[in-house]
C-alpha cells in the first residue's frame, strides 16, 4: 500500500502525489462511498496497479485529516497567505480581518502579503504593517511584477500546505507564477471569469513546490462567510481582544457596552486599534444575524 496526497480531482479521477510521482486513482468497491468525501490535501492510501496497468490505481482508504476548509475546499491546510494589494484594488481591511478570523478559527498560521509594492509608497504599507505586526502576524511586502519580496514569500511556504486567499485581482496567481518556475496560472481577465462559475471550487488544485510543501491558488471573492460560531467566540479570533478580555468583569462580555469591560478600556488607552474593533463589531452583528436565522 502506498500513501499520497490528493492534488486534485477531475473527471472521476483523483490525482495523487507520492514520492515524486503523480498517480491517477479511482475509488472502487466498498470505497465508492469515499468518493464524495475526498478533497485536495487529503492523505490517502492507494494500491498501484500491476504490470501494464501500473498507472491505474485504486484508493483504499482516507487518513484522518487535521482540518477541512470549506472555501476553498482543501484538507490539511497549515497556513493561509492573506494577499492584499497596496493599490488596484486598494486595501480592504474588513476583508483582511475576515480572512484572519477564519485562519484563527481553524488554528492556522496566517501570513499577510502586501502585494503590488511597485504601485505604492512606503507610507501605503506602513499603516497596515503598524496595525498587524503588533498583533503577531508575519508580514511580507511583495511585487509579483518586479520580484521584490518573492524569495521571502517563498521561504514562508516550505513544508506547509498553504492556501493563497484574498480579494479578486490582488495578485494571488501572479505571485504563485513568480514563485514556481514553469507554472502558468491564468492571471487577470480569465481568472476573473472563472470566479463567477459555481464549479470553479470543484477544480481546486494543490501544487507541489520544488522546495517541499504544497500551495493552493484560490479564485478571489468579494464575500467570505464566517464559520459557524457563537457570538461569545468571536473575540477569541482577534488576538488583541483575546489578550484583554480575561480582565472583563463578565465572562460572557461581548465588549459592546457592558460595564467594566477591559477591552473597551484597552481601546481608550490606545492599546487596541479602533478600526479593528469596528470590524469586530461588524462581524459580531453578522454572527448574531446568522444565529437568528438558525
Least distance between ligand GTP and beta carbon 207 (Å): 14
Question: Is there binding between residue 248 and Zn ion (CB under 5 A)?
Answer: yes
Q: For residue 240, what is its C-alpha cell?
A: 488583541
Return the number of the residue (154 or 245) whose C-beta is nearest Zn ion: 245
Return the number of the residue (162 or 262) whose C-beta is nearest ligand GTP: 162
Question: Is there binding between residue 191 and ligand GTP (CB under 6 A)?
Answer: yes
Least distance between Mg ion and beta carbon 258 (Å): 43
Give yes or no for a contact between 282 and 270, defined as CB atoms under 8 angstroms apart.
no
DSSP 68: B
**One residue of 73, 89, 169, 231 binding ligand GTP per CB under 6 A:** 169
Report the alpha-carbon distance of residue 172 to residue 220 in Å, rounded: 8
* Beta-sheet strand order (sheet of 109-115): 138-141, 109-115, 79-85, 161-165, 214-216, 206-208
Question: Is there binding between residue 115 and Mg ion (CB under 5 A)?
Answer: no
Return the number of the residue (172 or 245) whose C-beta is nearest Mg ion: 172
Question: Is there binding between residue 172 and ligand GTP (CB under 6 A)?
Answer: yes
**One residue of 220, 245, 266, 279 binding ligand GTP per CB under 6 A:** 220
Report the alpha-carbon distance of residue 34 to residue 6 in Å, rounded: 13
Residue numbers 144-173 binding Mg ion by CB under 5 A = 172-173
Q: For residue 167, what is its C-alpha cell?
A: 480579494
SS3 state of residue 264:
helix
Least distance between ligand GTP and beta carbon 117 (Å): 7
Report the alpha-carbon distance of residue 277 to residue 97 in Å, rounded: 10
Within 10 angstroms of residue 234's Cβ, the number of other Cβ atoms is 23
**One residue of 261, 267, 283, 287 binding Zn ion per CB under 5 A:** 261
Residues that bind Zn ion (CB under 5 A): 248, 253, 255, 261, 263
Residues that bind Mg ion (CB under 5 A): 172-173, 191
Amino acid at each position: 500500500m502506498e500513501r499520497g496526497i490528493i492534488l486534485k480531482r477531475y473527471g472521476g479521477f483523483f490525482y495523487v502525489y507520492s514520492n515524486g510521482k503523480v498517480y491517477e486513482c479511482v475509488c472502487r468497491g466498498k470505497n465508492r462511498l469515499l468518493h464524495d468525501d475526498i478533497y485536495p490535501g487529503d492523505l490517502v492510501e492507494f494500491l498501484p496497479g500491476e504490470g501494464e496497468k501500473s498507472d491505474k490505481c485504486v484508493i483504499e482508504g482516507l487518513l484522518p485529516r487535521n482540518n477541512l476548509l470549506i472555501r476553498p475546499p482543501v484538507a490539511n491546510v497549515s497556513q493561509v497567505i492573506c494577499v492584499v494589494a497596496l493599490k488596484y484594488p486598494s486595501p480592504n481591511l474588513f476583508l483582511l480581518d475576515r480572512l484572519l478570523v477564519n485562519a484563527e478559527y481553524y488554528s492556522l498560521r496566517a501570513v499577510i502579503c502586501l502585494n503590488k509594492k511597485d504601485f505604492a509608497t512606503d507610507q501605503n504599507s506602513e499603516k497596515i504593517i503598524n496595525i498587524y505586526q503588533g498583533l503577531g502576524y508575519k508580514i511580507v511586502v511583495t511585487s509579483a511584477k518586479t520580484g521584490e519580496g518573492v524569495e521571502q514569500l517563498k521561504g514562508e511556504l516550505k513544508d506547509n500546505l498553504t492556501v493563497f486567499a484574498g480579494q479578486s485581482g490582488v495578485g494571488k496567481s501572479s505571485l504563485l507564477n513568480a514563485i514556481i518556475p514553469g507554472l502558468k496560472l491564468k492571471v487577470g481577465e480569465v481568472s476573473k471569469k472563472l470566479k463567477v462559475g459555481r464549479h470553479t471550487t470543484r477544480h481546486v488544485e494543490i501544487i507541489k513546490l520544488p522546495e517541499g510543501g504544497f500551495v493552493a491558488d484560490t479564485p478571489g471573492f468579494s464575500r467570505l462567510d464566517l464559520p459557524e460560531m457563537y457570538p461569545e467566540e468571536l473575540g477569541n479570533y482577534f488576538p488583541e481582544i483575546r489578550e484583554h478580555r480575561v480582565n472583563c468583569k463578565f465572562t460572557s462580555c461581548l465588549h459592546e457596552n457592558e460595564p467594566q469591560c477591559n477591552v473597551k478600556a484597552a481601546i481608550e488607552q490606545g492599546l487596541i486599534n479602533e478600526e479593528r474593533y469596528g470590524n469586530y463589531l461588524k462581524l459580531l452583528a453578522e454572527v448574531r444575524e446568522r444565529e437568528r436565522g438558525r
